[in-house]
Chains A and B, each alone.
Chain A
Amino acid sequence: MHVLVFVESNQGKVKKTSHEAVAYAAGLGGTVTALALGRVEADELTALGKFGASKVLHAADDRLNQEVIQAYAHVIAQAMGHTAADVLVLANSSLGTPIAAQVAAAVDASLATNVVALPDTSSGFAVKRSIYSGKAYCWVELSKPKKVIAIRKNAAEATGSGGSAAVEAFTPEIRDEDFRIKVTGTEKATGDVLLPEAEIVVSGGRGMKGPEHWGLLEALAKELGAATGCSKPVSDMGWRPHHEHVGQTGVKVSPQLYIAVGISGAIQHLAGVNTSKYIVVINKDPDAPFFKAADYGIVGDAFEVVPRLTEAIKAARG
């Protein structure tokens, strides 16, 4: 089996979720080729060998510095042909998910997104998907010879002991018609841990009483190397930007640890966090429904507990 992995990058660095995609591909068995597009640092590419890639194709064309879905999908479909790939693996994201769809349509592949685990190949090729906003799973069989799999964060562990991968230049056809959607501007939080990528997320709700108190959460997040998120009312009121809104209609996260401060735990919020490995809830209301979904809880005033927790983590780190 030949597996192609599309790796996403951010400011020249390969994203962690793409490391997981390479590790997932390696877990399928077979030969793994990674594909990177646009400007990516050279040592980031060779390092993909560590996660299981035997070769890296790099299409460094300047036109690919902008992440245009149609253009990327056309290049990836060509790379599948070039490497005789049976399977394409990529990370679920605002870029990866639509690309998965367009490549699947172009190469006539079976398509599954939101995949959470390695396939069951005992009879056929079945993958486990997260559905009903994290409230259930389904197993689906991918029956076509070619398959496109978009994985959710933590579907595979990005650890590996492989060596460095050989990087090869890839020069696909790039069509003007793939740039019908023009990107005219980008606003991105820089330097922070990206919320969908974060291993630890510290989120605040209405219980934080106002945007001026976010410094408390940011201090805790900084100590933990965490990203910050918020509940829907908080982004609706404009306390925090929409891209930090965690929940059913916002960002869905699956970190190792989710710390919710002053969030009651409406079912719509839980839909965005219920695939987190561990959940800590800090709320002064002992009846907050979030405690039912939590692993650890503290009933107390966020304004006292959070600074204390920040200090305790600092002390524990030494």
Chain B
Amino acid sequence: MKILVCISHVPDTTSRIAFTDNNTKFDTKGVQFIIGPYDDYALARAIELKEATGATVTVLNVGLAETEPTIRKALAIGADDAIRVDAEPVDSFFVAAQIAAQAKADTYDLILMGRESIDYNSGVVHALVGAMLNVPAVSPVMKLDLDGSTVKMVREIEGGTEQVEASMPLIAGCQEPIAEWKIPNMRGIMSARTKPLKVVPPVAVESGVKLQRFELPPPKGAVKLISPDKVEELVHLLKTEAKVL
């Protein structure tokens, strides 16, 4: 069995978000980049499946050379080899088209990724790849087990969960608690240095989305503190000032 895990290279969840160049570029100063947290869950589940079934795990990232340390980390966690599509991931459609092109060149039984990236937050790449390859796509998946060639999953829906199943090939957008994040050990880090990392050019895509500018939310005013003995005052403020009651 062959598993493709698509990872994003995103700012650490605790990063301060700022922009430069007249609000048209993300300010990378002082920002540490990580494997997207949701993608990290997908990767962890893929490694578990590899350990259980002997599957091979390939990681794929769409990004410029600066993402290679992130890709090496995925190799250190246990992926066998990696593909970097050498391009800036400009929008979801572009990224999905790159993944679809790689999946056409080399077929995979399972394509796993996070339910969304934590920078662009579109939550659609898995569904787009599904449409492009005409392969079923499921998201957000919190549990994924194999039963022969059938994949049994638990999907989160508003206010609950849904059990779904489908045959491979299949695409899944993953989230916790599908697996526990894996931390690379020293042996993994050493072996990651020599694992194959193939750099491929992007396929041409006509993008329908063009970034104009970034914007930060207005700063929050100071909190109004209310004495714990005077909760009536809070109710009054919520009614008359915030007008939310």
Residues of A within 8 A of B (CB): 10, 67, 69-70, 73, 92-95, 97-102, 104-106, 108-114, 126, 128-133, 135-144, 180-189, 192, 194-197, 199-200, 224, 242-243, 248-249, 256-257, 267-268, 271, 274, 277-278, 280-281, 291-301, 304-305, 308-309, 312-313, 315-316
Contacts and interface: CB of A to CB of B under 8 A. Distances in A.
5 contacts: A135-B217, A141-B209, A182-B165, A187-B161, A316-B239
Given A111-B208, A249-B37, A308-B231, A296 B156 contact: no
A243 B159 contact: yes
A100 B209 CA distance: 14
Given A184-B163, A248-B13, A93 B122 contact: no
A298 B228 contact: yes
B213 interface: yes
A112 B157 contact: no
Contacts, number: 254
B231 A309 contact: yes
Contact of A188 (B123, B157, B167): B157
B166 interface: yes
Contacts of B91: 140
- The 9 A-B residue pairs whose C-beta atoms are closest, nearest first, are A300-B228, A110-B208, A188-B160, A105-B131, A101-B127, A101-B124, A98-B127, A144-B208, A185-B163
Contacts of B225: 291, 296-299
Contacts of B235: 309, 312-313, 316
A132 B213 CA distance: 14
A169 B111 CA distance: 38
Contact of A101 (B131, B142, B155): B131
B181 to A, nearest CB: 11
Given A137-B215, A312-B231, A181 B124 contact: no
B175 A249 contact: yes
B177 A183 contact: no
B238 interface: yes
Interface string B122-149: 1111111011100011111010000000
B232 interface: yes
A294 B11 CA distance: 25
Given A114-B121, A297-B226, A278 B211 contact: no
B8 interface: no
B119 A131 contact: yes
Given A112-B209, A249-B38, A93 B121 contact: no
B224 interface: yes
A110 to B, nearest CB: 3
Contacts of A110: 208-209
Contact of A296 (B155, B177, B215, B234): B234
Give the dominant DSSP class at B's interface.
Answer: mixed
Nearest to A200: B244
B20 interface: no
Interface in B204-226: 207-217, 220-221, 223-226
Contacts of B221: 295
Contacts of B33: none
B244 A242 contact: no
Contact of A180 (B93, B126, B136, B245): B136
B167 to A, nearest CB: 7
Contacts of B223: 281, 291-292, 294-297
Contacts of A300: 228
B92 A101 contact: yes
B122, B158, B175: which has the most chain A beta carbons within 10 Å? Answer: B158
B164 interface: yes
A298 B226 contact: yes
A207 B148 CA distance: 45
Contact of A136 (B17, B155, B236, B244): B17
A69 B158 contact: no
B160 A243 contact: yes
A93, A187, A291: which has the most chain B beta carbons within 10 Å? Answer: A187
A114 B224 CA distance: 30
A136 B224 CA distance: 24
A136 B127 CA distance: 24
A132 B224 contact: no
A304 B228 contact: yes
B239 to A, nearest CB: 7
A314 to B, nearest CB: 10
Contacts of B105: none
A182 B164 contact: yes
Given A101-B92, A104-B93, A181-B166, 5 more contacts: A104-B128, A138-B211, A144-B208, A199-B244, A299-B225
Contacts of B64: none
B159 A188 contact: yes
B122 A271 contact: no
A181 B226 contact: no
